Amino acid sequence: MTQTKIEQALEVMKTHGFKYTKKREAIITYLVKKNRYVSARDVYEFMNTEYKGVSYDTIYRNLNDLETLKLLETTDLNGEKKFRFRCCTKVDHHHHFICTVCGKTKEIHMCPMDFFKEQLNGCQIEGHRFEILGRCEDCC
């Protein structure tokens, strides 16, 4: 399953005109295996063990490219942008529980906006974010 996600992501990149590189594959593989939100610094530290001298700017640029292609989801935790691999197949609208200790995420397949829409009659909602932060069962 992990290999399939990696191959799908590489195919999406190729379809959008991005060249295949071992570094890009390594970034995607790292994110798929982590399966949680990680910082650009986390990715950089991993990549620097695999590819000595890789620049932080290169990592950040690649993460932003992957986000633009909708291969990554992002969130802001503790004032820092974090990245998480998202499945390449159609992903329904969802939200997350995020463990504040280990970073593990769980998808929540309901949206509280249904409740708020009733209270905001006449307003035009342009977007929203909803995340639940806490400790997962392993970190309690």
Residue list for the binding site for Zn(2+): 99, 102, 136, 139
| Known binding-site positions for Fe cation | 93, 128
Supply angle C-alpha 58, 75, 73, rounded to 5.
Answer: 70
Inter-axis angle of helices 22-34 and 2-15, to 10 degrees? 140
Scan for tokens 């990245």, then name that residue: 83
Supply angle C-alpha 66, 70, 75, rounded to 5.
Answer: 85
Cβ-proximal residues to 129 (8 Å cutoff; 6+ apart), any chain? 75
| Known binding-site positions | 93, 99, 102, 128, 136, 139
